[in-house]
Structure 1
Amino acid sequence: MTNGQAAADSFIRGLVNRSGPELILATKPFAVDSTARSWWCILSTTALLVAAVAGTLLAPHGLIKMGSSVLSGLLLLRLFVIYHDQQHHAILPKSKVAEKFMWVFGILALSPSSIWRASHNHHHNHNSKIKGSHIGSFPIMTRDHFEKAPRRARWLYLFMRHPLTILLGYLTIFLHGMCMRPFVMKPREHWDCLIAVVVHAVIAGSLIGFVGWQGWLLTQILPHFIASAIGSYLFYAQHNFPGVAFYDKSGWTYDRAALDSCSYLKMGPVMAWFTANIGYHHIHHLNARIPFYRLPEVLQAMPELRNPKVTTLNPIEIYRCLCLKVWDVKQQQMVAVGAADGEQV
C-alpha cells in the first residue's frame, strides 16, 4: 500500500468514525438553502396544485376529475413537506413573504403554524425517549407499562397507533389532533387552529353550494384524505419500524436518536419527489436545517450516514411496521402486543 493510499484510508476511517457533536457539525455546510431553488419548489408545486384542483372542477370527464383529485392529494403532500421545511427554517429562513405564505398554507392544510412548531420542535428534541416523546408523535409504552396500565389507557394507546387511525389521519390526526384539540386546550395560544377549522368548513360549504357533493368530495375530501393518510403513515414508519431504538434519559443523545430511531424510508424517484425527500429522515433529524432538496447530497457526501436503518413502502414492510406496538425493555426492540419473548411480530 502506498503512502497516499494509506492516508486516504485513514481519512475515510476518520469520517466514518465521527459521532456526536462532531457528526452534527459536519452537516452544517449543507444547512444552507438556495433562495431561488426554494422559491421555485414552493411556487411550482403550488401552481401544479392549483392546476390539479382546477382539473377536479373543470375537467369534462369523470376519470380526468378523479385523476386530478388524486394528483391534488399527492401535491398537497409535497407542499406540506415543503411547509414543514420552512417551519424548521431550513428554507427561506429570513423571508417574511415565505412566512406569511406558509402560515396561510398551514391553515388550509389543517396544520396551523402555532401547534405545528410547538409539537414538532418538541418531537425533534425528545425523539426516541421512552418518556416525553408522545408530544408531536405517536405514543410509546414499554411492554411492562402497557400490561400494567388500566384497560382504558391500553385501549386509547392502541387506538392512537391503530392502522385505521393512521388511514383516517385527515380526521384523527389533522382535523382533531392538530386543530380542534389544541384550540380547546389552549385557545389563546392556538387561535389559528380555530381559524383552520372555520376556513375548512367555509370551503366545504362553498364547494357543496357551487359544484355539488361530487365536486366537494373530489376537490376537498379526497385530496386531504390522500395527503393525510400518506403523511400520517410516513411519520409513523419513520419512528416505528423493525430495528428502531428507544432510550431512557441516561442513554439518550441527539445523534443516536437520529441514526438509531429514525428510518431511511427508501422510495422510487416519483414518490421521493411527491414526499420532498422526507424519507431521508435520519439525516433530517440529525440536522433539521438542511433543505429537503440537499438531503440526497448529504447521504452521498457523509460515509457514516450510508448505512441507516431502512424501511420501504412495500406492503410487507408496511405490515411489519404497523404490527409493532410496545417497547420491550428486555429485548430492546419493538414488539407486537402479546408477542412471546424473542418474537418481534
Structure 2
Amino acid sequence: MAAHDPRHRSVTARLLSESVLIALMLGAAALELDALDRPLARALLVAVIVLQGCWLHRLYVVAHEASHRKLWPEHPGINDALGQLLLLPLMVPLRIHRKIHAFHHGHNRRDEQTSALDTFVVTRRASPLNRALVRAWCHVLWYLSVFACGFFVHSLVSVLLFLAMPMRVARSISPAFKGWRVYDQLRALASFGLGVGLHVGVAWLLGPRAWALTMGWPLLAFAWVYSLLVYIYHYQTDYGPEVRFHVRGLRRHPIASWWLLNFNEHDTHHRQPKLPWYQLPEHREPLPSAHAANQKYDGIAAAILAQLRGPRIIERDARASKSGASA
C-alpha cells in the first residue's frame, strides 16, 4: 500500500509538480494565443481551452486520490490540504467529494434505484402514447446528462445541497448525508468560499477576459469531459449486493492512462480502493464469473460511444413504486 511503498513520496511529488505545472503552462498558452488575434491562433486557442478542461479533469483525478486519503497517507492534514487546493478551480469542497464518493463505493448499483445513474424507474402508464412520451423524456435526460454537461450539473446540485441543506432535511433526502454534520458543512462552506475567491481573485488581478480564458471556458470544457467520462465504467453493468463488482476495466491507452492516472483500471480500484493509482495495473485481475458480462466494452472511446444506446428504463405500477419508495 501507499504508506509502505518507498516510492510513494517521490511519485506523489512528481505527480503534483507535473499536474500544476502543465495547468499553468496551458493557461499561459491561452493568454499568449489570445494576444496574437489571428485566425490560426483563434483555432489553436479553442483547442487549448479544451485541453485546459481535460487538465482540470486531471486535477480532479489527483484530488480523488486525496479523497481516498492516499495522496499523502501518513499525514491526513497534508493529504486533505493538497486535495482541496487541487479542487479549488472546480470550487468543490474535498469533504463533500469524499462523502459522495464514499456513498458511491459503498452502494454502487446495489439495486436499480441506488447509485445507478443510467437507470430510470418510472411509473407504468396505461396509454401507449404516455408510455412513449415518458421513455422519450428519459432518453432526452440521459443524452443531456452524458453529452451536454448534465452529469456536471447533477454533481453541482449535489454539492450545493451539501452546502446549504439543513441537516434534518438533508438526511431525509438521501442516505448519502448520513454522518454529515454541521461542522462538516461549515468547513465545506469555507472551502467553497476559497474556490469562489480564487475565481474572483483571478478576474480582479488579470481581468475578466483572462479569467474566462484560463478558468471560465476551461471549466465549461471540464463539465463536458467529466460528463462524458464519469459513468463509462458503470454504464449497463449489473446490480446487486456485491457492489465492488458492478464495474468494468478498460484497455490501457498510454496517453489516457497517464492523463487519468490509470482510471481505466476502475474494476481494480473498486476492489481495492486504497491502492494508489500507480499500483493499479499490477493488481488487475478478471472480474468474478458472475460479473464477467460487465466487460462488454474494451476501450475508452467504445465505452463513451456505447452511451448513445441510452438508459435502461424500468416500468413499475404505481403501487409497487410507492412501496419501493417507502422501503
Same fold (TM over 0.5): yes
Match in the other structure for 2:117: 138
Alignment partner of 1:75 out of 55, 60, 67: 55
Asked whether the 8 Å contact 1:52–1:68 carries over to 2, the reply is: yes
Which residue is equivalent to 1:115? 96
Residue number among 162, 165, 170 corresponding to 2:145 in the alignment: 165
Residue 304 of structure 2 corresponds to residue 321 of structure 1? no
C-alpha displacement of 1:65:
4.0
Evaluate the alpha carbon distance shift between residue 169 and residue 49 of structure 1 in structure 2; reply closer, same or farther with a 3 A threshold: farther
Which has the higher mean CA deviation after the structures are superposed, 167-176 or 111-120? Answer: 167-176
Write out per-residue CA displacement over residues 294-337 of structure 1, whole angstroms, 9 at most, x where no aligned residue.
111212xx4668976143343x64343243423659xxxxxxxx
Residue among 214, 222, 231 paired with 2:217: 222
Unaligned runs of 5+ in 2: 168-181, 316-327
Equivalent AA in structure 1 for residue 210 of structure 2: G
Q: In structure 2, how many angstroms separate the alpha carbons of the residues matched to 1:267 and 1:182?
A: 35
1:217 Cα offset (Å) = 2.7
Question: CA-to-partner distance for each residue in 1:169-222, whole Å, 9 max, x for gaps?
Answer: 5861343332x2221214833235544554454444455555555433321122
> One-letter code of the match for 2:60?
F
Aligned partners of 1:264 and 1:310 also within 8 Å: no
The C-alpha deviation readout for 1:269-302, integer Å capped at 9, x for no partner, is 2122211111211111001011111111212xx4
Find the partner of 2:29 among 47, 50, 55.
Answer: 55
Q: State which of 38, 46, 50 in structure 1 corresponds to 2:20.
A: 46
For residues 227-267 of structure 1, what are the alpha-carbon distances to aligned partners after superposition, in whole Å with 9 as ceiling and x for unaligned? Answer: 232223322221113xx1012xxxx12xxx333x1122335
Rounded to whole Å, the distance in 1 between the matches of 2:152 and 2:311 is 22
CA contact (8 A) 2:93 2:189 kept: no
Give yes or no for contact 1:32–1:90 (8 Å, CA) kept in 2. no
Choose from 273, 277, 284 the match for 1:292.
Answer: 277
1:245 and 2:238 aligned: yes
1:109-147 CA distances to partner (integer Å, 9 max, x unpaired)? 23211211111101101111116633xx637444xx543
Match of 1:341 in 2: none
Amino acid at match of 2:57: L
Kept in 1, the 8 Å contact 2:52–2:218? The answer is yes
* Aligned-pair identity (%): 19
| Contact 1:130 1:141 (8 Å CA) reproduced | no
Separation in 2 of the partners of 1:224 and 1:66? 13
Q: Which residue pairs with 1:231 in the alignment?
A: 226
Which amino acid in the other structure matches residue 218 of structure 1? L
Cα distance in 1, alignment partners of residues 71 and 13 from structure 2? 9
Matched, 1:258 2:238: no
Contact persistence 1:76–1:227 (CA under 8 A): yes
Cα deviation, residue 37, structure 1: 0.7
Distance 1:181 1:269, change over 3 A: same
Give 1:234's aligned amino acid: L
Aligned length: 281
Relative distance call for 1:202 and 1:230 in structure 2 (3 A) is same
Whole-angstrom distance in 2 between the partners of 1:216 and 1:239: 35
C-alpha distance in 2, partners of 1:170/1:326? Answer: 17
Contact persistence 1:128–1:246 (CA under 8 A): yes
What are structure 1's unaligned runs of at least 5 residues? Answer: 1-28, 330-345
1:31 offset after TM fit, Å? Answer: 8.4
Distance 1:318 1:304 in 2: 21
Say whether 1:175 aligns with 2:156: yes
Counterpart amino acid of residue 250 in structure 2: L
Q: SS in structure 1 opposite 2:124?
A: helix
Report the RMSD for the aligned CA atoms in angstroms.
3.6
Match of residue 102, structure 1, among 70, 75, 83: 83
Q: Which amino acid aligns with 2:186?
A: W
Query: Which residue number in structure 2 is paired with residue 280 of structure 1?
Result: 265
Q: TM-score, normalised by structure 2?
A: 0.71
What's the counterpart of residue 147 of structure 1?
Answer: 124
Amino acid at match of 2:268: I
